[in-house]
Amino acid sequence: MRPDRLNPLFAAADSLKGVGAGLARPLEKLGLTRIRDFAYHLPDRFVQRRAVENLDEASVGENVVVALTPVEHRASSGRGPFRVVATDSAGNVCTLTYFGRASYTAKKQLPLGEPRWVAGRLDQYGQMLQIVHPDHVTDSSGAALGQLVEPIYPLSEGLTQGRMGALVHQALEHVEPLPEWIEPALLDRMQWPAWRDALLLAHQGEHPAARDRLAYDELLANSLALLLVKQSNRSRVGTPLVGDGSRRARLQLPFPLTGAQRRAIAEIEGDLTQSAPMLRLLQGDVGSGKTVVALEAMLIAVEAGAQAALLAPTEILARQHYETLKRMAAGTGVEIALLTGRDKGRAREAVLMGLLDGSIDMVIGTHAIFQDTVTYKHLALVVIDEQHRFGVGQRLLLTQKGRRTPHCLAMTATPIPRTLTLAQYGEMDVSKLDEMPPGRQPIDTRVVAVERVEDVIGAIARHIETGQQVYWVCPMVREQESADLAAAEARFAELRERFGDRVVLVHGQLRPEVKDAAMERFARGEAALLVATTVIEVGVDVPNATLMVIEQAERFGLAQLHQLRGRVGRGAAKSTCLLLRGAMLSETARERLALMRETQDGFRLAEEDLRLRGGGELLGTRQSGDTPFRVAQLDQLQRLLPVAHDDARLLVERDGGLTGERGEAARLLLYLFERDWGVQLLRGG
């Protein structure tokens, strides 16, 4: 139960004056649904303005606040701009220029002969000084001078800076002081302000100490919650699983295990023999053989007389795992079932009965395998694939299906930098697959200018004629007016004109049955070309697909490009990845594409990706989802996370956890950042 003193911060957004149905959608796009969201919606930057008595004191290109008196309104014919000619106190002439709909309000804002305070950027057009679309016009000098430092907030369509600033200001009025949760000596050493002061300062100007304080709070909440999970897990009672090797000995693998696979299996086997439930992350690059390691773990559970379940984030991936594991375990005598939300009627009832009476040893599926209606005879191991798709809170729910707490093995095919591993999986032990199975050929990676798209389509035609298949990935589903990103639907229509019904389309907005049907046609070889968004980033395994085209490749981060490239090169044939780039490339984008050509080591690319993003450039279309944090930026994460982790460990192991004065404050912190699953693990939490 959230502490009462935090309730005002979690009041709905519509409790703010001016928030109605019309603003709900644009605010929701920004994740602004409660008062606290506005309080933590920090400015991207600040506009610094200088108040001047007249324009002689100002420089062209400078942001100023100046008093001007309109002397003439000039309307242009057609779609030309509306101009207001004004003079300052020294008689200097300045034109205030408006385009589009803004022209209609300019007359009202700037009546002739009446002085107004104008804030904006002073430019020069020919011999004339001008301000295009003034940022603010007011008849109050006090209001104008209040805009000398103006926060610039992230917006979505339908919002303005003025509206956002007013809503944030309202939200901050609901912020009351809270007890201090940071260790006093650390607070003093860092010279950080108190929590409420930091929040207010972060909206008022460039205050690095305030920003760092807020980022540290978020990192401390995350580290503390993960450590509480780890501590709680150690106190739980699981089922020790000791296999006799009988099932594993009958596995017929097409390739020998790598040294990394053998090490990971040994670490997992050691965990499974313990009464404390395993909580381990298996981290492996694309094609490193995580599925085999997971199967070995699940066979240990079956050998010990228990059941195992594998959870996949999508139905496509669940069905693919089911087929792969059935094929690999064909000689072991293990009964494997598939259960997804689409399964109905007798087939579903048969699976439910088999799980209840124990005749099904392993079940593969989506979240449907953990619904209330699903009961297991003896579930002792849960494998979670693509762990980054599931939060810690979800994972805790998944492990409550057994008579005792099941062991948990989480897997990710996304190599994670060391810093982010600590941030996202701090409660888990980590096994890393850093070797590739023998025989995998490197993927020929090339960068091609988008102007040569017709040559690429011609190469696809030749490729298809040889009987091989092709992926074409676009960064969006549909075109947007504000972006020139390639759209999957438009590209699909174009390629379908050329190749007919051999082309299929997959993206996240399609109905599941339509998406699955397209994927199945491609997997069976009935379709030669799959046009898709990044929905195919993980798990899609079609060995006959040997050509990958990624359009607008500079828009993606390195880690995502690497994941997409990993969809090819899964068979014996030579594979190629073409990175179609736009005409305008930043230096960082050039470096990313060069790295993609240079290496196929996902762990190196992950570290390089974090290094490049640390420079402050927004890389790719998905970067905002790359960390579990809203406030902490990458540079802060790298600087402050080790400190937060150590502080959280001292609080848990030395200072009594969530008891005592600082512990009670830390409990508020966990709820404030919605890491309260850490609190719920404690008795009475």
CA distance 248 to 257: 13
Task: State which CATH number among 3.40.50.300, 3.30.70.1230, 2.30.40.10, 3.30.565.60 fits the domain covering 236-433.
Answer: 3.40.50.300
Instruction: Yes or no: say if 631 and 213 are a contact pair by the CB < 8 Å rule.
Output: no
Say if residue 62 is exposed, middle or buried (CB neighbours under 10 Å; 0-12, 13-18, 19+): middle
CA distance 429 to 408: 11
589-to-210, 371, 552, 604, 626 alpha-carbon distances in Å: 31, 44, 11, 17, 18
| pLDDT the model gives residue 412 | 85
Instruction: Yes or no: say if 362 and 310 are a contact pair by the CB < 8 Å rule.
Output: yes
H helix or E strand, kind and range, residue 452 = none
| pLDDT the model gives residue 476 | 74
- CB atoms under 10 Å from CB of 295, counted, come to 27
Q: What is the DSSP letter of 331?
A: T
H helix or E strand, kind and range, residue 132 = strand 128-132
| pLDDT the model gives residue 615 | 37
- Helix, strand, or coil (residue 579): strand
Topology annotation, domain 444-599: Rossmann fold (3.40.50)
CA distance 7 to 35: 10
Instruction: Yes or no: say if 145 and 65 are a contact pair by the CB < 8 Å rule.
Output: yes
| pLDDT the model gives residue 475 | 82
CA distance 605 to 564: 13
Whether 444-599 and 236-433 are alike in CATH topology: the answer is yes
- Helix, strand, or coil (residue 155): coil
CA distance 465 to 461: 6
Instruction: Yes or no: say if 424 and 610 are a contact pair by the CB < 8 Å rule.
Output: no
Q: What are the boundaries of each domain within the chain?
A: 4-45+169-202, 48-152, 208-234+647-680, 236-433, 444-599
Tokens of 56: 């002689």
Q: What is the DSSP letter of 525?
A: T
- What does pLDDT average to in each consecutive run of 10 residues of the chain (685 residues)? 93 93 90 96 93 94 95 87 95 93 84 95 93 91 80 90 93 95 94 97 94 97 88 83 95 88 97 92 86 96 96 84 92 94 86 96 90 89 75 60 80 77 77 81 91 94 95 75 62 92 88 84 92 74 91 87 87 90 86 92 83 46 52 87 92 85 93 82 48
CA angle 444, 447, 448 (to 5 degrees): 120
Place of tokens 């940022």: 135
Beta-strand (E) ranges in 414-490? Answer: 429-433, 444-449, 469-473
CA distance 381 to 406: 5
Topology annotation, domain 48-152: OB fold (Dihydrolipoamide Acetyltransferase, E2P) (2.40.50)
Question: Which residues pair with residue 545 across a beta bridge?
Answer: 469
